[in-house]
Amino acid sequence: MLKRERCPGCHGQASTTLYREPLDSPAITRYLLAHYQQRVARDFSGYDYELARCRHCGLAYQAQVPAPALLEEIYDQWLPATERALVAARWGLDDYRYLAAQVEFMLEHFRLRPGAVKALDFGFGWAEWAKMAGAYGCDVCGAELSEVRIDYARSVGIPVLDASALPQGEYHFINTEQVFEHLLEPGDMLRRLGRSLRPGGVVKVSVPDAAHSLRKLLGARSFAALGEADIMPIAPFEHVNAFTHASLAALGRGAGLALLRPSLRKLYNSSSGWMNPKSALKTLARPVYRHIYPRSTFIYFARPA
Ligand SMILES: [Zn+2]
């Protein structure tokens, strides 16, 4: 394990310890065994699950994080490898519709022929967004660390770039979905992605909202009080940055990016599913709570033109 001595968002040196519990406590051990299906073969005595909050930008983060060798072990060996089948088994029409709405919004925003839009799916996972953008005719490529996912993306025709050597000033749009909560240096990464955008380009950052989980943990002062859904946004080892709307917005400002307030007309024009009562309600409400009175951790940031 490594100690993060400065804020991973803004590099500020001043932080407050919010919470600390030994990593081998009964509650955390129970969670790790269940979450990784008994594949955890390490002794964590002497290390803590430790949450700190930066006094400068307000980001809450895990102060003790896995060293590179342990990270590799977690992502390659502990996590189940059958996720691609799981995505296909779990996703319904509304999930794909929502992806389509995001791609349509991107195209509405730039008002360019889809083939003229250069897009990057950064940390693409099983390349769901990249495939959707490709289906709409965009010039899309991806970057990802996992070899098995890279092979899959190439097999479905998505070009894959080296994440550490991205071109400068290249993209109209960069998609990141459930990426920034995992990064050891999210502030540096958002600055790098910002430089890869053209002037006026947009990067989407979507991460779990940790506000509720943080409140619950800091109220109960015990990991044992958390349910599965509470643990997810602040999961030990994996979700090492616990964003709220405010700290994510601060991350964007620190990277020299501006919060984009998308036009409601363009958001509504990019969504379908209106005739189904359940999805229509979501379709109606989401643009308002997410982008008009934003408190959420799904943010479009724009590089100043
Ligand atoms: Zn900070």
Tell me which residue range forms the domain holding 217: 2-80+211-242
12, two tokens = 């500020």
| Percent above pLDDT 90 for the chain | 76
For residue 202, list its beta bridge partners: 173, 302
Res 162: pLDDT = 95
Do 199 and 230 belong together in one domain? Answer: no
Do 73 and 90 belong together in one domain? Answer: no
| Percent above pLDDT 70 for the chain | 99
Res 230: pLDDT = 97
Tally the residues of the chain.
Answer: 305
Res 229: pLDDT = 96
* d(CA 182, ligand 1 centre) in Å: 16
Do 118 and 171 contact (CB within 8 A), yes or no?
A: yes
Do 142 and 257 belong together in one domain? Answer: yes
What's the pLDDT tens digit per position in 178-217?
Answer: 999 999 999 999 999 999 999 999 999 999 999 999 999 9
For residue 245, count CB atoms less than 10 angstroms from its CB and return exposed for 0-12, middle for 13-18, buried for 19 or more.
middle
What's the pLDDT tens digit per position in 9-20?
Answer: 999 999 999 999
Do 185 and 274 belong together in one domain? Answer: yes
Do 260 and 238 belong together in one domain? Answer: no
Kindly report which listed range (145-149, 191-195, 202-206, 274-278) carries the lowest average pLDDT score. 274-278
Do 118 and 136 belong together in one domain? Answer: yes
Do 147 and 54 belong together in one domain? Answer: no
Do 258 and 200 contact (CB within 8 A), yes or no?
A: no
Do 293 and 192 belong together in one domain? Answer: yes
* d(CA 255, ligand 1 centre) in Å: 12
For residue 139, list its beta bridge partners: 118
Scanning the structure block, which residue is given the tokens 């990784």?
Answer: 36
Instruction: Compute the distance between CA of residue 18 and CA of residue 38 in angstroms, rounded to an integer.
Output: 29
DSSP H helical ranges for 111-261: 128-135, 147-155, 186-196, 211-220, 228-231, 245-254
Do 251 and 271 belong together in one domain? Answer: yes
* d(CA 254, ligand 1 centre) in Å: 9
Do 228 and 271 belong together in one domain? Answer: no
> Is 70 exceeded by the pLDDT of residue 250?
yes
Instruction: Compute the distance between CA of residue 199 and CA of residue 83 in angstroms, rounded to an integer.
Output: 36
* d(CA 243, ligand 1 centre) in Å: 11
Do 223 and 250 belong together in one domain? Answer: no
298, two tokens = 């799904």
Do 156 and 282 belong together in one domain? Answer: yes
**Average pLDDT along the chain:** 93
Judged by DSSP in three states, 79 sits in coil
CA-closest candidate to residue 186, choices 295, 297, 78? 297
Work out the average pLDDT over 263-277: 78
* d(CA 242, ligand 1 centre) in Å: 12
Do 45 and 22 contact (CB within 8 A), yes or no?
A: yes
The structural domain count of the chain equals 2
Q: Which of 192, 220, 242 is the last residue of a domain?
A: 242
- The CATH number linked to 129 is 3.40.50.150
Instruction: Compute the distance between CA of residue 277 and CA of residue 44 in angstroms, rounded to an integer.
Output: 49
> Is 90 exceeded by the pLDDT of residue 86?
no
Q: Which of 242, 262, 293 is the last residue of a domain?
A: 242
- Terminal C-alpha separation, the chain: 41
* d(CA 77, ligand 1 centre) in Å: 32
> Is 70 exceeded by the pLDDT of residue 82?
no
